[in-house]
Amino acid sequence: MPRSTLTEAGSAPEAVWLRLKKRLFSSPLNTLLTVLIAWLLLMVVPPTVEWLLLDADFRSSSAQGCADSSGACWAFIAEKHRLILFGLYPYDEQWRPLLASCILLGLIVLSAVRRFWRPSLALGWLVGLLLVGVLMWGGAFGLSHVENTRWGGLPLTLILATFGIAFAFPLGVLLALGRRSRMPLIKAVCVLYIELIRGVPLISLLFMSSVMLPLFLPEGFSIDKLLRAQIAIILFAAAYIAETVRGGLQSIPRGQYEGADSLGLSYWQQMRKIVLPQALAVVIGPLVSIFISLFKDTSLVVVIGIFDLTQSAKAALADPQWQGFGAEAYLFIGLIYFFFCFSISRYSLAVEKRLQGAHGSTHYLS
C-alpha cells in the first residue's frame, strides 16, 4: 500500500530518517535518552560479547586451559552437559530420559495445536505417559531398572511441571467452583485452603511435605520423595489457579447463568458447556503466567534434595577439578528455562489474540 510519509520527505532514505527521527530524537529529552542508552550499550555489549563468544574457550579439556583464557569457559559445559541435563541417570542409559523428554514435549506441542483436539489426543496422552514411565523406570522390556532417586535434570523438570499442571488445573477449577458454592461447608473448606496455601511460600510447603507426611503415615510406609514434591507442587499451584479462575467466573455476566438456568441445564452441564469455557477464555493470560511460574518453581525442589535441572547444575559445579564456572553453568540452564518459558508465553499471546478476535476486546489484568 502506498505510504509516502509527510510532505517534507522527497525520497525513500529521507522517509527512513524521518521515522528514526520521530522514534529516537523527537525532542531534546528524547535525544539525550537515546545518546545515553547508546553509550551504555556501547560500554556493556562489546565486552559481554567478547566474554561470551570471542574470547571464550570452547574446547580445552581441563580447567587449567579454561582459566587461561579470559572469556567464558564453554568447554566446561561441553564436559558437563550430560550431568546437567540428565542428572545422575546411568550414563549408558541416558537415551531413555532423552526419549522420554521428547515424548513429553511432543505431546505438549500437539496439545497446543487446535487441529489435534480430538478424543484420540487423550488416548495419545495415556499411551505417551505410559511410555515415559516405562522408559524412566525400566524393569520391563529388557530395560534395566532405575530408581527415581537417580532421575534428574531436564526430564525431571519436565515431569514435575507437566504432571503439576495436569493435576493442579482441574483441582484449581474445582476449588474455584467450590469457593463460589452456596453450601457453607464446601465454601469454607475451599476458602481456607486457598487462603492458607497462598499465604505461605512454596518452600515451606516442600519442607512440610518432606517432614510432615512421614509423621502422618503408619509405621514403615513411606511415600517416595519425588512424589511428595510433586504433590506439594500440585497443591500449591491449584490454589493460585483457583483464584484466577474465580476472577474469570466473576467476570461472566449474570445473564449467562440465567440463560443457562432457563434452558434447564444442570449445574455441571452449565459449568462445562457455558460458564467455564467463557471464564477460562477471559483469564488465559493470568493462567499462562501461573503455568510459567510453575515451570520455574520446579527449581525449588533443590531445597529438599531432588535433582532437577538447577540442582544438577550445582552438582556439576561441585566437581573439584572444575571450579569457579558458576556463571557459565547458570547461563546455560538459564537459557533452557528461558527457551521454555518464552515459548509458552508467546504461544499464549497468540491464543489470546485469536480469542480476542472472536470475542471482541476483553479488558483484564495479568
Partner 1 sequence: MDQPIISLEDVHKWFGAFHALKGVNLQVSRGERLVICGPSGSGKSTLIRCINRLEEHEQGRVIVDGVELTSDLKRIEAVRREVGMVFQQFNLFPHLTVLENLTLGPRWVLRRSAGEAEETAMHYLKRVRIPEQAHKYPGQLSGGQQQRVAIARSLCMAPKIMLFDEPTSALDPEMVGEVLEVMIELANDTGMTMLCVTHEMGFARQVADRVLFMDAGQILEQNGPAEFFSNPRHERTRAFLERIL
Partner 2 sequence: MHNLESRNIATGFAFLHDEAGFAIGETPIAYSPSDTYGRAIAVGLLNTLRVSVIAIVVATLLGTLVGVARLSQNWLLARLAGFYVEVVRNTPLLLHLFFWYAVITQNMPHPRQAYDLLPGVFVSNRGITLPRLEGAGMDGLLGGLALAIVLLIVAQLCRRHSAICRLITRPTNALIVLLALPALGWWMTGAPIEWDVPRLAGFNFRGGLTLSPEFAALLGGLILYTTAFIAEVVRSGIQAVSRGQWEAAASLGLPRRLVLRLVVLPQALRVIVPPMASQYLNITKNSSLAVAIGYPDLVSVVNTTLNQTGQAIEGILIIMAAYLTVSLSISLLMNWYNRRIVLVER
306, 212 in Cβ contact below 8 A?
no
d(CA 162, CA 142): 27
Q: Residue from 12, 14, 20, 22 that binds partner 1 (CB under 8 A)?
A: 22
Q: Residue from 10, 11, 16, 18 that binds partner 1 (CB under 8 A)?
A: 18
34, 18 in Cβ contact below 8 A?
no
d(CA 80, CA 71): 18
CB-nearer residue toward partner 2: 92 or 219: 219
62: helix, strand or coil: coil
Q: How far is CA 366 from the centre of its chain?
A: 16
Any contact of residue 1 with partner 1 (CB under 8 A)?
yes
CB-nearer residue toward partner 2: 81 or 296: 296
d(CA 65, CA 238): 49
Place of cell 587449567: 64
Contact region for partner 2 (CB under 8 A) — 71-79, 89-97, 113-121, 217-225? 217-225
CA nearest neighbour of 283 among 348, 206, 224 = 348
Q: Minimum distance from CB of 284 to partner 2 (Å)? A: 15
Any contact of residue 208 with partner 2 (CB under 8 A)?
yes
77: helix, strand or coil: helix
Any contact of residue 44 with partner 2 (CB under 8 A)?
no
93, 137 in Cβ contact below 8 A?
no
Q: Residue from 10, 14, 26, 269 that binds partner 1 (CB under 8 A)?
A: 26
Any contact of residue 29 with partner 1 (CB under 8 A)?
no
Partner touching 6 among partner 2, partner 1, none, CB below 5 to 8 Å by kind: partner 1
CB-nearer residue toward partner 1: 26 or 62: 26
For residue 138, report the phi and psi dihedrals to the nearest 5 degrees: 75, -150
Contact region for partner 1 (CB under 8 A) — 21-29, 154-162, 182-190, 254-262? 21-29
State how far the alpha carbon of 149 is from the alpha carbons of 80, 90, 125, 169, in Å: 20, 12, 25, 27
309, 341 in Cβ contact below 8 A?
no
Partner touching 296 among partner 2, partner 1, none, CB below 5 to 8 Å by kind: partner 2
Any contact of residue 300 with partner 2 (CB under 8 A)?
yes
Binding region for partner 2 (CB under 8 A): 23-24, 26, 30, 33-34, 37-38, 41, 196, 198-204, 207-208, 211-212, 214-219, 292, 296-297, 299-300, 302-303, 310, 313-314, 317, 324, 326-327, 330-331, 333-334, 337-338, 341-342, 345, 363, 365-366
Binding region for partner 1 (CB under 8 A): 1-8, 18, 22, 26-27
